[in-house]
């Protein structure tokens, strides 16, 4: 099991402190959603976990070691990251895009390993895009394209997958399709999924754990039932909401702004 810990973390952009004294641990193969208003520090936290942002203070530890002391190739074998709205080279095929997930395992000359082709086929199959393998990524719909990017991350064969707003700009059908795919990958392969997400109902339905953030601080951290409450939504988002339970899931119905 791959583990990540954030210890007394201060994060900033230039001289602007965004996150101060953050402590978090990810020790189980579960789906974790980070929620909060725009500018609350959600994506900043995710970037720090993914080694994209060096902390001003504190440590991000991957399997007990400072992530910034580890070679990039080592980190990429344990953790994959999918940013918001990623861009692919013009006319690249889906199969070639997915093959980039094998980069951390290639030798000095860039050659594929013996099992790369099989892993690429496996990633295409698990994300149900085998029929798109030789199509250009730029010809796919939004939901199909997102599955292709997830297949690339899956081909890295990591124990941790980071995603920044993976369902933004998708219609409701494709939102559920992507969320159900992530749920299946978590259950089938024990992959820890840590994502920033705006949709509170998707977070509540598909997550084992939710972290609610405001002004760079963790306001609540726990199960959906513990975090998606009227009090938390008022504090974090400044909204009034009714919370219901339906088919074992928490449902959030916003109906106004707190004055």
Domain boundaries, the chain: 4-257
How far apart CA 71 and CA 84 sit, in angstroms, is 24
| Widest distance between CA atoms in the chain | 62
Whole-angstrom distance, CA of residue 131 vs CA of residue 135: 8
Q: What is the pLDDT of residues 83-137, one digit of tens each?
A: 988 888 878 999 999 999 999 998 755 555 668 999 999 999 999 999 999 999 9
Question: What's the number of CA atoms in the CB half-sphere (13 Å) around residue 97?
Answer: 31
How far is it, in rounded angstroms, from Cα 192 to Cα 209? 11
State the Cα angle at 246 between 243 and 251, rounded to 5°. 35
Backbone dihedral angles phi then psi of residue 47, each to the nearest 5 degrees:
-65, -35
| Residues of the chain predicted below pLDDT 70 | 108-114
pTM of the model: 0.95
Fold (topology level) of 4-257: Rossmann fold (3.40.50)
pLDDT at residue 109, as a whole number:
53
Please give the Cα distance from 212 to 36 (Å, whole number). Answer: 6
Q: Residue 236's pLDDT is what?
A: 97
Write the DSSP assignment of 192-258 as a string of letters.
Answer: EEEEE---HHHHHHH-SEEEEEETTEEEEEE-HHHHSSHHHHHHHH-EEEEEEEETTEEEEEEEEE-
What pLDDT sits at residue 247? 83
Question: What SS3 state is found at 181?
Answer: helix
């Amino acid at each position: 099991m791959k583990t990540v810990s954030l210890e007394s973390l201060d994060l900033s952009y230039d001289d602007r402190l965004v996150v101060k004294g953050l402590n978090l641990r990810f020790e189980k193969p579960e789906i974790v959603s980070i929620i909060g208003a725009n500018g609350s520090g959600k994506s900043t936290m995710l970037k720090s976990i993914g080694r994209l942002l060096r902390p001003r203070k504190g440590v991000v530890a991957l399997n007990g070691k400072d992530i910034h002391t580890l070679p990039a190739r080592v980190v990429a074998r344990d953790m994959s990251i999918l940013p918001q709205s990623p861009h692919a080279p013009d006319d690249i095929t889906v199969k070639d895009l997915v093959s980039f997930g094998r980069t951390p395992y290639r030798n000095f000359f860039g050659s594929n390993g013996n099992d790369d082709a099989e892993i690429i086929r496996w990633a295409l199959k698990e994300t149900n895009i085998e029929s798109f393998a030789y199509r250009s990524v730029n010809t796919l719909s939004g939901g199909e394209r997102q599955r292709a990017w997830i297949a690339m991350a899956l081909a890295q064969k990591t124990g941790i997958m980071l995603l920044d707003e993976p369902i933004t700009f998708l219609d409701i059908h494709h939102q559920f399709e992507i969320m159900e795919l992530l749920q299946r990958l978590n259950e089938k392969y024990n992959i820890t999924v840590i994502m920033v997400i705006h949709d509170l109902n998707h977070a509540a339905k598909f997550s084992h754990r939710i972290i609610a953030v405001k002004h760079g601080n963790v306001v609540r951290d726990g199960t959906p039932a513990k975090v998606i409450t009227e009090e938390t939504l008022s504090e974090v988002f400044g909204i009034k909401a009714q919370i219901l339970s339906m088919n074992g899931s928490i449902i959030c119905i916003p109906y106004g702004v707190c004055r």
